[in-house]
Chain A
Amino acid sequence: MYKFVTLLPLESFQYKKVKFYSVQRESQDVTEFEDFLNRMEDIPAVEEDLINLIVWIKEIGQKYGAQKKFFRDEGTYADASALPPPGKTMRLKGIEVRGLRLYCLRANEHVVILFNGGLKTSQKAQDCPNVATYFNQANQLAKVIDQLFQQREITWNESFTDIIFDENLQIEL
């Protein structure tokens, strides 16, 4: 089991309205988002959805911003009853393209951190052999990254349009 991940900007997805980030596990060659794309790109049934997802990222990045309505609530972390009041805590979100699920953290309308995902085949993510691992991982990441915001290890720029963090920041899971 890996212990550390690094937070990285996705260079191809830095737009005027949204900056997209992902995380990379120690000993991995690509980010979690790129791993998701690599695993999905050769599945003919989701090819169209994957392409539309990339277009969608660009469109909301350039034109709309990461509005709440574009994302679905996900996660056990979101359902935990001991959480601070809504609005104080970032919650795990999902991007849904038919059966495809990509888990993410929508930090605000301008910053989204993309994790991993897969082709969901069960009603509950926890029961789905394709996405359960990524769902649990994303939940854990969402929780730790949220704590890093609260501890000010990750902060905002003046206009709240991007995040600031040490490039050597290691996120411990």
Chain B
Amino acid sequence: MKKDRSKVIERIQARIKPENRQFVRKNLEISQQISHLLEERGWSQKDLARVLGKQESEISKILSGLHNITLKTLTKIEVVLDGEVIITPLEACKKYASKEYVTFYVKPNERLDEVAEGSFLNEQPVRYKGEPDQSSKVA
């Protein structure tokens, strides 16, 4: 039977398996994370290629989001960039569950006008009504 050429997108879409979605999603997440680490360190793709002893085109492939990167290459990237690219949920729980969250309450500074005039800068910290003396405490 002759194929309907105009229905090719639907035919291919019907063949998508969950593992295809997962592969591409993870791949793109890895690409984003590597880019983030590069940006944080002020490195270009060229710098990463040089340090890894690879061609720049290989780094482009890795960042394309369609490349089947090996764990070995991924590990090397993590080492040279001194940061994690992937983390398992178990490790993520260990790492982030122990984070301590601190709440800061913010009050409006009623003397803001005086700051603008410059008469406030050398004074003692403002203490609001009912607020205990915090001056001896370290933030």
Which residue numbers of A lie inside 8 Å of B, CB to CB? 10, 12, 29-30, 34-35, 37-38, 41, 47-56, 59-60, 63-64, 69-72, 95-98
Complex CA gap A56/B24 in Å reads: 6
**Complex formed: what's the CA distance from A120 to B49 in Å?**
24
In Å, the complex CA distance between A30 and B9 comes to 11
Determine whether B73 belongs to the interface, using a CB cutoff of 8 Å to chain A: no
**Do B63 and A51 touch (CB < 8 A)?**
no
Closest B residue to A31 by CB, please name it.
B6
Chain B interface size band reads: 20 to 34
Known: A41-B11, A63-B28, A70-B31. A29 touches B66 (CB 8 A): no
Q: Which of A12, A35, A59 contacts B13 (CB 8 A)?
A: A12
In the complex, 23 of the A-B residue pairs with CB atoms within 8 angstroms, ordered by the A residue number, are: A10-B9, A30-B5, A30-B8, A37-B8, A49-B66, A51-B12, A51-B15, A52-B24, A54-B9, A54-B13, A55-B16, A55-B24, A56-B66, A59-B28, A60-B65, A69-B31, A69-B63, A70-B63, A72-B64, A95-B66, A96-B64, A97-B66, A98-B68
Determine if B5 and A52 form an interchain contact, defined as CB atoms under 8 angstroms apart.
Answer: no
Judge whether B63 and A30 touch: CB under 8 Å: no
Known interface pairs A56-B24, A72-B64, A96-B61; A50-B31 also in contact (CB < 8 Å)? no
A36 to B117, CA, bound (A): 69
Specify which of B20, B21, B66 is in contact with A96 (CB 8 Å cutoff): B66
Assuming A55-B20, A69-B60, A69-B63, is B13 touching A60 (CB within 8 A)?
Answer: no
How far is B29's CA from A63's CA once the two chains are assembled, in angstroms?
11
CA distance A66 to B9 in the complex (A): 20
Q: Please report the C-alpha to C-alpha distance between residue A7 and residue B25 in the assembled complex, in whole angstroms.
A: 30
Question: B62-86: which residues lie under 8 A (CB-CB) from chain A?
Answer: 63-66, 68
Bound: A65/B5 CA distance, A: 28
- Which residues on A sit within 8 Å (CB–CB) of B24? 52, 55-56, 59
> A35 — which chain B residues lie within 8 A by C-beta?
5
Residue of A nearest to B10 (CB): A12
Known contacts A41-B11, A54-B12, A72-B60; is-contact A34 B5 (Cβ 8 Å): yes
- Residues of B that sit less than 8 Å from A by CB: 3, 5-6, 8-13, 15-17, 20-21, 23-25, 28, 31-32, 35, 45, 57, 60-61, 63-66, 68
With contact pairs A51-B15, A54-B16 given, residues A71 and B8 touching in the complex (Cβ less than 8 Å) = no
Extra contacts, 20 of them, besides A52-B66, A56-B24, A59-B28 (Cβ < 8 A), are A12-B13, A30-B8, A34-B6, A37-B8, A53-B66, A54-B16, A55-B20, A55-B23, A56-B28, A59-B65, A60-B28, A64-B28, A64-B32, A69-B31, A69-B60, A69-B63, A69-B64, A70-B63, A72-B57, A95-B64
A12 contact set on B, CB distance < 8 A: 9-10, 13
Residues of A within 8 A of B63 (CB): 69-70
- Interface residue from B16, B35, B64, B65 paired with A51 (Cβ < 8 Å): B16
